[in-house]
Amino acid sequence: MIVEVLEHDLEQKWINAAKQHKHVGIDIETSGLDKEKATIATVQVNVPTFGTAIVRNLDKPYLLMHLLENASVRKIFHYAHFDLTFLMRDYKVMPQWIGDTKVAAKILDPKKDRYYDPNKEKYSHSLAALVWYYKSIRLDKTEATSDWFGELSQSQIEYAVKDTLYLVDILSYMEEEAQRKGTFFLLAGAHAFIPTSIQLQLKGIQDPFGY
């Protein structure tokens, strides 16, 4: 599979591949956790069977914006509310067809006693816990707090790829289980409301559902 570090925006071949597959995993790296002050360093997009693009130095990323708003391609995140807050704040987009493995984890594991994070050695709804549970793969999270604004190291590139690589598969497993348990429509509704929830908060309106 292809791994590319791109400047400013996606390239058209990534949009074409996303439209063909119809599901992509997306993650971002930022300067911090403060949704008002922190800035986006990179956006990584994984298209299953095709590869991962890591976009840095974003500057009017029209193709990325098009992908976010394309209702025919599902964008799957872990903790979409965090990532999309930055993307919606900076690029004034209204994303369509969103999936979120963290939201799914909260619905399938409300007591937080199922998914075990081997890095933190506790039960969690973290991506590391979900990848360990569904893929038996231990994610190395040591690059999470590194500097993502300079030239990317090979370790950072590998980290960025792995944080998007499993999202599509894992959400598929979780939605299949939600269908069996009769909670699929709850999950679908929660996914559908994420962009609206963020839009309300960006306007200073309290989210009535507490996202």
Predicted pLDDT of residue 177: 98
Give the residue carrying structure tokens 């029209």: 62
- At 211, is the pLDDT very low, low, confident or very high (cuts 50, 70, 90)? low
pLDDT at 209 over 60: no
Q: Which of 196, 168, 11, 28 is nearest to 104 (CA)?
A: 168
| Residue listed under structure tokens 């840095």 | 56
d(CA 97, CA 94): 10
pLDDT surpasses 90 at 203: no
pLDDT reading at 1 higher than 90: no
Mean pLDDT for the chain?
A: 95
* Neighbouring residues of 35: CB distance < 8 A, sequence distance ≥ 6: 82, 85, 86, 89
pTM: 0.94
The torsion defined by the Cα of 200, 88, 184 and 47, in degrees rounded to 10, comes to 180
Helix (H, G, I), strand (E, B) or coil at 153: coil
Q: What is the pLDDT of residue 207?
A: 62
Are 68 and 87 contacting, i.e. CB atoms less than 8 angstroms apart? yes
pLDDT digits (tens, 9 = 90+) for 126-173: 999 999 999 999 999 999 889 999 999 999 999 999 999 999 999 999
pLDDT, position 59 = 87
Q: Which H helix or E strand runs over 132?
A: helix 127-135
Which residues does residue 99 pair with via DSSP β-bridges, in sequence order? 76
Mind listing the pLDDT tens digit for each residue in 42-90?
999 999 999 999 999 998 999 999 999 999 999 999 999 999 999 999 9
Amino acid at 17: A
What mean pLDDT do residues 187-193 have? 96
pLDDT for the residue numbered 15: 98
Contact 54, 164 (CB under 8 A): no
How far CA 160 is from CA of 37, 92, 152, 208, 209, in Å, comes to: 22, 24, 10, 33, 31
Note the CATH number of domain 2-202. 3.30.420.10
